[in-house]
Chains A and B, each alone.
Chain A
Amino acid sequence: MSDHDHDHHHDHEHQHGDGDEHGHRHYDTPGSRRARSALEVRAMALEAALVEKGVVKSDAIDAFTDALEHRFGPHHGARVVARAWTDPDFKQRLLDDGNAACAELGVAGVEGNIRVVENTDEVHNLVVCTLCSCYPWPLLGLPPIWYKSFPYRARAVAEPRTVLSEFGVEVADHVRVRVWDSSSEMRYFVLPARPDGTDDLSEEELAALIDRNSMIGTALVTAP
């Protein structure tokens, strides 16, 4: 059963504002009580009409939704980064051919044609899509709201250091910032720098340190 199905067994209690993306945060909490917004009703009606017409099958929608929500996600990106930090040969393969290296770890999928760019002491990479919201789905899942927001899309390519400071990331003046605007079918994935003081950590422990933003370039990974 998909999340969608058990989403709908809640009472009609209060109304969220339409288009208020923040307001949907509680939808996946088991036992949460919420109302269907007008937008959600329209989305359900669209599915109902398409299924009724035989255009789309319900279990195809289930499978696609499951891939977007569960099969893809930043836990895969973190595994790839942790492997790159602990296996220099893998890291080289990842930088040379991101798709093939990710496939070694079973990470693959649509919107996953990637180039990996490495953060170092001299370079800080930042990824954006000014035209829409291109994003490496298999490694990171669906993009966070801020990534799709107008100010991020507008400003990341013009004032990256100011944008980074809003995320609490200060980049030293001598570090070259490289901003990647995803405009073709190539997706960009940041290999963050490994923090000092993590030599004793296992690959699994390292993966647990790596959050989604560090693989977009809007965060640094810090030692525990």
Chain B
Amino acid sequence: MDGIHDMGGMAGFGTIDVSAGASGYEGWEARLQATALLSGGMSRPGIEAIPPAEYLASGYAEKWLVCSEHRLLGDGVIEGKQLDRWCSELAGDPNRLPPRDEDPDAVPGLVAMLTTTPSMARATESRFAVGDRVRVCRMRPEGHHRCPRYVRGAVGVVERIPGAEHQPPTEPGGDVGRFEAVYTVQFDSRELWGDQRGEGEPVFDLLVDLWESYLEDP
């Protein structure tokens, strides 16, 4: 979906608060992230489905929360009246905590998964080779995808083929898409933004990973 999350090149957000966040998450936010991922409530398509005005007005953790609530309520995994009851109990008593239910036998497996690096499959078939010039397709995808708007239509060069991956699911809980080569494509900044040297931006390289289906011959 070509949503508000696709921010590359947008103007109007102002300067960067470079001091913001000695660490990105504090306490409950990291715990929310863990809960959202373990429950399957969090997904990129779900985050991207948040309406634009709400997306812009929400903090990072809030988006994870809204996404998870929406998905888990929508799928009937949890109930609205259950959430309401817990909200009122937890807000009303500062000593109240969520209930605990443990399965210690499952923890080592989880930790092993979390501390294992996922590797990308080798690309055994690839339409383009390193050094090839490629053009990013013009497109208007309905579902989730990973092709930023700002590179569409632009011509770049294949810098590397890091491997092959399935295209991501187009909707929350959906199946993965085609398994295909992923290319690291290098663009000259003038191809994307024009010549900005007059504005104090010397020419630079922009590199982005793109699935084979996003690319065509120039």
Given A48-B90, A142-B23, A157-B9, answer yes or no on A99-B97 (Cβ-Cβ < 8 Å). Answer: no
B56 touches A145 (CB 8 A): no
Look across to chain B and name the residue whose beta carbon is closest to the beta carbon of A149.
B16
A49 touches B78 (CB 8 A): yes
Look across to chain A and name the residue whose beta carbon is closest to the beta carbon of B199.
A159
Cross-chain contact of B102 among A8, A12, A58, A108 (Cβ < 8 A): A58
A46 touches B32 (CB 8 A): yes
Highest count of chain B CB atoms <10 Å: which of A40, A131, A155: A131
Mark contacts of A40-75 with chain B using CB atoms, 8 A cut-off: 1 yes-contact digit, 0 otherwise: 111111111111111111111101110111010000
A158 touches B87 (CB 8 A): no
A149 touches B17 (CB 8 A): yes
| B207 contacts the other chain (CB 8 A) | yes
B56 touches A63 (CB 8 A): no
| A208 contacts the other chain (CB 8 A) | no
| B60 contacts the other chain (CB 8 A) | yes
B201 touches A45 (CB 8 A): no
B205 touches A63 (CB 8 A): no
A64 touches B37 (CB 8 A): yes
| B141 contacts the other chain (CB 8 A) | no
Mark contacts of B201-215 with chain A using CB atoms, 8 A cut-off: 1 yes-contact digit, 0 otherwise: 110111111110000
B101 touches A54 (CB 8 A): yes
Contact-size category for B = 35 or more
A115 touches B204 (CB 8 A): no
Cross-chain contact of B103 among A25, A60, A141, A185 (Cβ < 8 A): A60
Cross-chain contact of B111 among A35, A48, A67, A183 (Cβ < 8 A): A67
Given A148-B24, A154-B9, answer yes or no on A55-B77 (Cβ-Cβ < 8 Å). Answer: yes
A176 touches B62 (CB 8 A): no
Cross-chain contact of B23 among A53, A144, A182 (Cβ < 8 A): A144
Give bound CA distance, A138 to B118, whole Å. 12
Given A4-B28, A113-B119, A181-B206, answer yes or no on A144-B87 (Cβ-Cβ < 8 Å). Answer: no
Q: Shortest distance in angstroms between A94's beta carbon and chain B's nearest beta carbon? A: 14
A60 touches B107 (CB 8 A): yes
B8 touches A27 (CB 8 A): no
| A103 contacts the other chain (CB 8 A) | yes
Given A41-B90, A131-B146, A178-B205, answer yes or no on A145-B17 (Cβ-Cβ < 8 Å). Answer: yes
| B152 contacts the other chain (CB 8 A) | no
| A79 contacts the other chain (CB 8 A) | no
| B20 contacts the other chain (CB 8 A) | yes
B201 touches A161 (CB 8 A): yes
Highest count of chain B CB atoms <10 Å: which of A20, A141, A146: A146
Mark contacts of A172-206 with chain B using CB atoms, 8 A cut-off: 1 yes-contact digit, 0 otherwise: 01001111111111100000000000000000000
Q: A130-B148, A133-B60, A146-B20 are in contact. List 5 more A-B contacts (CB 8 A).
A: A24-B26, A64-B38, A112-B118, A131-B146, A150-B56
A-B CB contact pairs (8 Å), 17 listed: A5-B97, A21-B61, A36-B94, A41-B90, A43-B28, A43-B32, A46-B72, A52-B82, A60-B106, A63-B114, A64-B37, A103-B117, A108-B117, A109-B117, A149-B20, A176-B205, A181-B207
